[in-house]
């Protein structure tokens, strides 16, 4: 059973962003499963690296969507700062794995809860009220992504 399953609760009703969040949850599940199954260190690193790479792409796209939606400047800046923090956090986790510091499945669950799940549910959700406008722009081909 996957650690976290996509459900309606996660949706912010912007299809591109929902698709990326689904993929992020999938990679997070792969990481969780690999750790639980005591997979080789290299496997854990490969998954962690793909999580970092995909998160980088996602943060960029999400910030672009917020800009395109006319998200208030102050909120956009605050969200950018949160993404930077998330980036620092996952790098720290990467470093801890590199130093072979003992990480339990519980540590990783706590990390994923705070790093990914809470961020989507509490912060990315704030984009929801702009979703109709974004879908309209996408239909009109006005999103330069």
x-or-dash pattern for Fe ion, window 69-108, by CB under 5 A? Answer: ----------------------------------------
By C-alpha distance, which of 49, 47, 21 is closest to 35? 47
62 binds Fe ion (CB under 5 A): yes
Residue 79 CB, nearest approach to Fe ion (Å): 6
Please state the closest distance from residue 55 (CB atom) to Fe ion, in A: 8
The least distance separating Fe ion from the CB of residue 2, rounded to whole angstroms, comes to 19
Counting contacts by CB under 5 A, is residue 30 touching Fe ion?
Answer: no
Token duo for residue 124: 């990315």
Q: Is 15 helix (H, G, I), strand (E, B) or coil?
A: helix
**Residues with Cβ < 8 Å from 74, sequence gap 6 or more?**
none
- Can residue 130 be called a binding residue for Fe ion (CB under 5 A)? no
Token pair 């005591």 is found at 38
Minimum CB distance to Fe ion, residue 62 (Å): 5
Total of chain residues touching Fe ion, rule CB under 5 A: 2
- In this structure, the number of other CB atoms found within 10 A of the CB of residue 79 comes to 20
**Contacting range for Fe ion; rule: CB under 5 A; set: 26-34, 56-64, 69-77, 129-137:** 56-64
What angle (nearest 5°) sits at the alpha carbon of residue 57, between those of residues 86 and 77? 55
- 7, 16 in Cβ contact below 8 A? no
Shortest spacing between CB 24 and Fe ion, in angstroms: 7
**Could you list the residues that contact Fe ion (CB under 5 A)?**
62, 124
């Amino acid at each position: 059973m996957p650690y976290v399953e996509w459900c309606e609760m996660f949706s912010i009703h912007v299809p591109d962003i929902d698709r990326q969040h689904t993929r992020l949850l999938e990679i997070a599940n792969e990481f969780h499963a690999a750790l639980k199954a005591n997979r080789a260190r290299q496997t854990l690193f490969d998954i962690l690296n793909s999580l970092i790479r995909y998160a980088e792409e996602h943060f960029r796209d999400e910030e672009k969507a917020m800009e395109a939606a006319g998200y208030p400047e102050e909120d956009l800046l605050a969200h950018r700062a949160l993404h930077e923090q998330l980036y620092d956090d996952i790098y720290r986790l990467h470093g801890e794995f590199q130093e072979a510091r003992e990480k339990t499945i519980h540590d990783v669950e706590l990390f994923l809860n705070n790093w990914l799940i809470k961020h989507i549910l509490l912060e990315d959700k704030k984009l929801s009220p702009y979703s109709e406008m974004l879908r309209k722009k996408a239909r009109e081909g006005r999103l330069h992504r």
